[in-house]
Amino acid sequence: MNQKKIFLDESKMPKQWYNIQADMPTKLLPPLHPKTMMPVTPEDLAALFPKEIIKQEMSQERWIDIPEEVREKYLIWRPTPLIRASNLEKFLGVTNIKIYYKYEGTSPAGSHKPNTSIPQVYYSKQEGVKKIVTETGAGQWGTALAIACSMFQIESEVFMVKISYNQKPYRKIMMNVFGGTVHPSPSPLTNTGRTILAEDPNCSGSLGIAISEAIEIAVQSSDTKYALGSVLNHVLMHQTIIGLECEKQFESVGDYPDVIVAPLGGGSNFAGVSFPFLRHQLQSGKKVRCVAVEPSSCPKLTKGEFRYDFADNAGFTPLLPMYTLGHNFMPANTHAGGLRYHGASALCSQLLKDKLIEAVSIDQLECFKAGVIFAKTEGIIPAPEASHAIAQVFREVEQAKKEGKPKTILFNLCGHGLLDLQGYQEYFDGKLQDSNFKEADFHESMKALDSFPKI
Amino acid sequence: MNQKKIFLDESKMPKQWYNIQADMPTKLLPPLHPKTMMPVTPEDLAALFPKEIIKQEMSQERWIDIPEEVREKYLIWRPTPLIRASNLEKFLGVTNIKIYYKYEGTSPAGSHKPNTSIPQVYYSKQEGVKKIVTETGAGQWGTALAIACSMFQIESEVFMVKISYNQKPYRKIMMNVFGGTVHPSPSPLTNTGRTILAEDPNCSGSLGIAISEAIEIAVQSSDTKYALGSVLNHVLMHQTIIGLECEKQFESVGDYPDVIVAPLGGGSNFAGVSFPFLRHQLQSGKKVRCVAVEPSSCPKLTKGEFRYDFADNAGFTPLLPMYTLGHNFMPANTHAGGLRYHGASALCSQLLKDKLIEAVSIDQLECFKAGVIFAKTEGIIPAPEASHAIAQVFREVEQAKKEGKPKTILFNLCGHGLLDLQGYQEYFDGKLQDSNFKEADFHESMKALDSFPKI
């Protein structure tokens, strides 16, 4: 039997994160202050983030040291296994196509999110922060933040979109287990929430409202900060530990991926697995295809425009250069909550613009079908987000079969779906539709960007 | 930093299970046929189990080969990690007390149960079985069986206690993902179910009823068999892969446990982790304390009697020599569903009788408290069953502190609690009581055993 699970010694866990900004042929356009349209300064961000995070966000250094205390927490579950999908290969009847997946679902949160929540909370703690506030949709990011805050004994407060708060009680309970305070949003705790509730007491909330509430609380006190779970440069950089581990694991079995596949919501999990490999292409031309998979209902990379836009629906953040559907765009309600985001991180957007990465969009029914096959063969029920990568892997296999070429595929299994089983039930019950793209809404939403600088 | 996670190379995964019957100073009393009160023969069991399983159930061989096809499936998640609970040690402020846990929650089912469902299904498949029927309470065993059946492309049918079917939809969905058919029990599909529903259409079911329904379906067809997830000798033996791996993992770090702690429902997870270590005590006197932990609400080992009793509530099985509270005993409704069983396996019972293992009972509030501390320090939310072991580990630590002695503790973290979060919510909400033992019910229940042979 071939080795199925490729572990990495704890002693070989990477000691630095990789910052792709150092190697990009086109440098990032600066984030702009929405009032002045001038590049934002570190001071502009100081009310929200700790200084070290702001420094990392703007850094051009290629390698950033992972603090010893962060590494110690990572060791709770890292290095994560790289797994050869041998049973899936058998099911697909392939012989010269190898499929590997990096499994990030072994983390305390069940996803890759703690890779960044832990350093973000660590730096906050270092700078005397007492509480971190954030928003969460379906709950993955809120859970990861609550866990990190519990590790460093900082208070955590999470505004959770009310409809998810009511429909997905398990993630809320998980946050409670780790000592997190969770409010359904809109809440009566903020001006934003009170205003909305006065108009509509039954408002079921949105990520935009939850962000507004979190930021409103964060800026009220100098020892309270805010944290973001994707999109920003430092978040993507923290996730590169995924790909850096993969690189060593491939080395240990004498292999190297031809293509890397990952779902893309904001971009952190895609960046995490692919950037460390992409660096060899940028540095020495060693070719690798990096394919980002988005849901058909929210196709910013394949149908959006490269424009300056807000990172949040409410318009509180700086303007970022990104592929976007417009910050007011509300995608259809699919089960991959983590991919229902209007824009892509500046880093991923610039790389796509420069044709250094690829993007595809896939319907959710194709993804659930792929997810069920994966569960039955490999034994892990994938998160709906992760199933997007699996569906694309199946397409890559079909393509390679047609071409009769050998191929080594790596994909990021960014989380398990144990708290997303309701989606699988609806899939089995035939209640899910293919995820339609609301094109008219998109065009409407893009109009709001007319006043922002063109790229 | 000390090594936190101790992995074992796939090539070192044990190739045989350990059968403690070969080394027990007192041989097991035979199971008796309830009609004749004579020892049961292999023929008596042939309608329910495949031949190889019946052979293993009665075998006195010390080592039984694990078939290559079973090992291949085990490799999906095995060997499982042995983890040093370094953060918990830090929290408890201990320096000369080492705590290790074997983590079985990485399996496709999230518990140790697939260690036995996979070989049971494999042997059935070998003998031409087309379908396996079983019962499940909260759903762990049903899930493990559905997964194994999916692996070997056999049909699975699970009768799930109706109150769990309605209250715990996630485990039902999990079985569906793996192709299992799940019926709420009592169902209109069997005579047993129809009779009960005619009397009480709203009956919420019991494990006893579900067993009756499963057996009724199994015996109707020669290519359908039944499978049990604990209690029987072969089930306990399949689980010894847990302890055999632990042994090699301890060896690799030059350590050995002084005490091994595991929860005990029927006995399979306790046996799995402890028997391979106990064998050295039986063979060469190398001392190890093995402590089984049961809930105070269901204290068969600490308050029950060593008697012949049925393995099931309905009285369909042979009579087994066991510590029991009587097969009619209905324990208080606690959240550790896997420990709400009236008796202990014959193997564990005989070993306790011979003072080769120890037993304690613990209230559920102490267990939930320990479980939350564990989650916050080690990052894994334990199944309520597993939290019983953790509570006892805390007691062991207190004892060692008092005695000022070094101690190496191993416990079996038999599963994660991600699908049991409702219990944690009720714990936080103050809705849970200490688990009271219904002593009058116990005495009443024991009266039914008066007509069975004394031990």
* 8 A C-beta contact, residue B82 and residue B6: yes
* B10, B147, B173: residue with CB nearest A379: B147
Give the CA angle between residues B27, B30, B35 to the nearest 5°. Answer: 165
Q: Looking at residue B102, what is its pLDDT?
A: 98
> What mean pLDDT comes out for the span B275-298?
97
Beta strand B181-185 pairing with B319-324: unpaired
pLDDT for A435 beyond 80? no
* B7, B107, B173: residue with CB nearest A421: B173
> What mean pLDDT comes out for the span A368-374?
98
Quickly list DSSP for A266-281.
SSHHHHHHHHHHHHHH
Report the residue of B103, B170, B377 to disrupt the A interface, i.e. the one with the largest count of A CBs within 10 Å: B170
Q: Among candidates B346, B307, B343, which has minimal Cα distance to B328? A: B343
Contacts of B1 in chain A (CB under 8 A): 10, 72, 75
* B106, B173, B381: residue with CB nearest A425: B173
Q: What is the ipTM of this complex?
A: 0.95
Is the CB of residue B87 less than 8 Å away from at least one CB of chain A?
A: yes
pTM score of the predicted model: 0.96
Q: Looking at residue A340, what is its pLDDT?
A: 87
Q: Looking at residue A164, what is its pLDDT?
A: 86
Burial of B3 (0-12, 13-18, 19+ CB in 10 A): middle
* A4, A76, A173: residue with CB nearest B379: A76
Residue B167: band (very low, low, confident or very high) from pLDDT cuts 50, 70, 90: confident
Q: How far is B421 from chain A, CA to nearest CA, in Å?
A: 6
> What mean pLDDT comes out for the span A206-233?
92
With an 8 Å Cβ cutoff, are A176 and B424 in contact? yes
Count other C-beta atoms under 10 Å from residue B440's C-beta: 8
Contacts of A378 in chain B (CB under 8 A): 76
Q: Looking at residue A449, what is its pLDDT?
A: 93
The enclosing H or E element of A384 equals helix A384-403
User: Considering the domain B68-110+234-449 in this protein, what is its CATH number?
Assistant: 3.40.50.1100
Q: Which residue of A lies nearest to B143 if distances are taken between CA atoms? A: A379
Is the CB of residue B378 less than 8 Å away from at least one CB of chain A?
A: yes
With an 8 Å Cβ cutoff, are A425 and B372 in contact? no
Q: Looking at residue A1, what is its pLDDT?
A: 57
Q: Looking at residue A205, what is its pLDDT?
A: 87
Provide the H-helix boundaries in A127-190: 140-151, 162-167, 169-177
With an 8 Å Cβ cutoff, are B176 and A77 in contact? no
Residues whose CB falls within 8 Å of the CB of residue B246, separated by 6 or more in sequence, listed in order:
B82, B102, B273, B276, B277, B410
With an 8 Å Cβ cutoff, are A108 and B379 in contact? yes
* Mean pLDDT score across all residues of chain A: 95
> What mean pLDDT comes out for the span B125-149?
96
Report the residue of A372, A376, A378, A419 to disrupt the B interface, i.e. the one with the largest count of B CBs within 10 Å: A376
Q: Looking at residue B436, what is its pLDDT?
A: 81
Alpha-carbon gap, residue B253 to B100, rounded angstroms: 12
* Mean pLDDT score across all residues of chain B: 95
Q: Looking at residue B1, what is its pLDDT?
A: 57
pLDDT for B217 beyond 90? yes
Residue B408, CA distances (Å) to A124, B89, B243, B258, B281 in order: 36, 11, 15, 5, 16
pLDDT for A137 beyond 70? yes
Q: Cα Rg for chain B, rounded, in angstroms?
A: 21
Is the CB of residue A8 less than 8 Å away from at least one CB of chain B?
A: no
pLDDT for A336 beyond 90? no
| Phi and psi at residue A66, to the nearest 5° | -90, 120
Q: Which residue of A lies nearest to B108 if distances are taken between CA atoms? A: A379
Q: How far is A231 from chain B, CA to nearest CA, in Å?
A: 25
Alpha-carbon gap, residue A200 to A186, rounded angstroms: 10
The region of weakest confidence among A311-315, B307-311, B364-368 is A311-315
* A7, A77, A421: residue with CB nearest B170: A421
Give the torsion sign (CA, A276, A279, A284, A290): positive
Q: Which residue of A lies nearest to B109 if distances are taken between CA atoms? A: A379
Quickly list DSSP for B3-48.
--EE---GGGS-SEEE-GGGT-SSPPPPPB-TTT-SBP-HHHHTTT
Is the CB of residue B38 less than 8 Å away from at least one CB of chain A?
A: no
Residue B165, CA distances (Å) to A264, B336, B340 in order: 35, 16, 17
Q: Looking at residue B374, what is its pLDDT?
A: 98
* A76, A177, A419: residue with CB nearest B378: A76
The region of weakest confidence among A167-181, A220-234, A435-449, B286-300 is A435-449
A 110-169 residues with CB < 8 A to B: 110, 147, 150-151, 169
* B106, B108, B176: residue with CB nearest A106: B106
Residues whose CB falls within 8 Å of the CB of residue A218, separated by 6 or more in sequence, listed in order:
A47, A48, A132, A133, A224, A225, A226
> What mean pLDDT comes out for the span B430-434?
90
Burial of A201 (0-12, 13-18, 19+ CB in 10 A): exposed
- What does the pLDDT look like over A96-117, one tens digit per residue? 999 999 999 999 999 999 999 9
- What does the pLDDT look like over B306-315, one tens digit per residue? 999 998 877 8
Report the residue of B107, B153, B376, B424 to disrupt the A interface, i.e. the one with the largest count of A CBs within 10 Å: B376
Contacts of A147 in chain B (CB under 8 A): 379
What's the longest Cα–Cα distance across chain A? 64
B 172-201 residues with CB < 8 A to A: 173-174, 176-179
Domain spans in chain B, listed from the N-terminal domain onward: 68-110+234-449
Is the CB of residue B221 less than 8 Å away from at least one CB of chain A?
A: no
Is the CB of residue A77 less than 8 Å away from at least one CB of chain B?
A: yes
* A1, A72, A424: residue with CB nearest B75: A1
Beta strand A305-310 pairing with A319-324: antiparallel
* B4, B87, B174: residue with CB nearest A421: B174
Instruction: Determine the angle formed by the axes of helices B346-353 and B268-284, rounding to 10 degrees.
Output: 40
* 8 A C-beta contact, residue B118 and residue B149: no
C-beta contacts of B206-210 below 8 A and 24+ residues apart:
B206/B161, B206/B313, B206/B330, B207/B135, B207/B137, B207/B161, B207/B312, B207/B313, B207/B341, B208/B312, B208/B313, B208/B314, B208/B327, B209/B161, B209/B185, B209/B314, B210/B135, B210/B136, B210/B137, B210/B159, B210/B160, B210/B161, B210/B185
- What does the pLDDT look like over A12-58, one tens digit per residue? 999 999 999 999 999 999 999 999 999 999 999 999 999 999 999 99
- What does the pLDDT look like over B61-119, one tens digit per residue? 999 999 999 999 999 999 999 999 999 999 999 999 999 999 999 999 999 999 999 99
With an 8 Å Cβ cutoff, are B176 and A87 in contact? no
- What does the pLDDT look like over A253-275, one tens digit per residue? 999 999 999 999 999 999 999 99
Q: Looking at residue A126, what is its pLDDT?
A: 97
> What mean pLDDT comes out for the span B229-234?
95
Q: Looking at residue A316, what is its pLDDT?
A: 82
Q: Among candidates A311, A290, A289, A315, which has minimal Cα distance to A300? A: A311
Q: What are the tokens at A247? A: 């690189």
With an 8 Å Cβ cutoff, are B147 and A378 in contact? no
- DSSP β-bridge partners for residue A415: A111
Q: Which residue of A lies nearest to B75 if distances are taken between CA atoms? A: A4
Instruction: Determine the angle formed by the axes of helices A364-378 and B169-177, rounding to 10 degrees.
Output: 80
pLDDT for A252 beyond 70? yes
The secondary structure of residue B217, as a DSSP letter, is H
For residue A35, the Cα-to-chain-centroid distance in whole angstroms is 28
Q: Looking at residue B139, what is its pLDDT?
A: 92
- What does the pLDDT look like over B339-360, one tens digit per residue? 988 999 999 999 999 999 999 9
Burial of A402 (0-12, 13-18, 19+ CB in 10 A): exposed
The secondary structure of residue B298, as a DSSP letter, is S
For residue A102, the Cα-to-chain-centroid distance in whole angstroms is 15
Is the CB of residue B6 less than 8 Å away from at least one CB of chain A?
A: no
- What does the pLDDT look like over A342-359, one tens digit per residue? 999 999 999 999 999 999
